[in-house]
Amino acid sequence: MRVYVDGKFYRERDAKVSVFDHGLLYGDGVFEGIRVYHQRVFKLDEHIERLYASARAILLEIPMTPAAMTEALLETCRQNRIRDGYIRLVVTRGIGTLGLNPNRCRRPSVIIIAGKIQLYPPELYQHGMQIVTVPTTRNLVNAVNPAIKSLNYLNNILAKIEANIAGVEEAIMLNAEGFVAECTGDNLFIVKRGQLFTPPLAAGALYGITRGVVIDLAREQGIPVSEPNLTRYDLFNADECFLTGTGAEIIPVVKIDGRTIGSGDPGPVTCNLVERYHALTRVSGTPLRPEPRTARTT
């Protein structure tokens, strides 16, 4: 594997950051996780845009343009001959002193890793997963806003550990008010009477790219989608529930805190969205190499 670090490619074992990088010392930085399907990068512009939005929110000036970042990412995929894979894009505050002050960090570091994805076990896609709510609440929107995809993932990691202790793969995180925010690395949706509901960003959710795709796919079919505050009661009484994320794609949920959701099997709305999502990944995305131009009709 060849890893991009600040404009150069390194072998895996030579790809390193300084122990003085504030990304390591303080989790000061931002990142993205992006999928490649059939040699096309899925929703690349949306991921690049979110990366720069996260960086702006923490006053981190990424030392290259979005266009240059896009090209570096595509080149990393080409160097690694990626067909289907997962790209981790990381921008750290860079090398600084042992104090918190980011002003001492001269230049942010850009790291691009193109490799394989770790997926949930296939049985969970077929039969649905069980999840639980955990005691660790989601970060406050006015503390570290969960909309920022920062390198500071301890909030999520603590919730993940609590899910692991409970013997499940994902955790539902509530916000300090007790409303559902999201899971540790996935957004959450429920279906009730043919309508789709997902928590609003203000409840402490990440503006998930997959979440956005699912909302579009649903609306295209005339399924109403809204973003109200949701409680555990709403989840327990849903007809269907599923999670969305770049890694997970769309995964059905059939049990929450011991309560069976709907029929206890992945529901029809969920299965329909899964099918449409897969269809989209087969045809859309930014090609790793410019495609030969086709004749235009307009």
Q: Applying CB under 6 A, which residues contact ligand PXG? A: 33, 156, 182, 185-187, 206, 208-211, 244-247
Catalytic residue among 43, 116, 149, 255: 149
Q: How far is the CB of 291 from ligand PXG (least distance, A)?
A: 25
Shortest Å distance, C-beta 217 to ligand PXG? 13
| Least Cβ distance, residue 110 to ligand PXG (angstroms) | 17
Name which of 105 and 210 has its Cβ closer to ligand PXG: 210
Shortest distance, position 134 Cβ to ligand PXG, whole Å: 13
16 is a catalytic site residue: no
Nearer to ligand PXG, 137 or 187 (CB): 187
Q: Measured from the CB atom, is 109 or 187 closer to ligand PXG?
A: 187
Beta-strand pair 171-174/129-133: parallel
Instruction: Say if CB 271 and CB 249 are below 8 A apart.
Output: no
Give catalytic residues, as residue numbers: 149
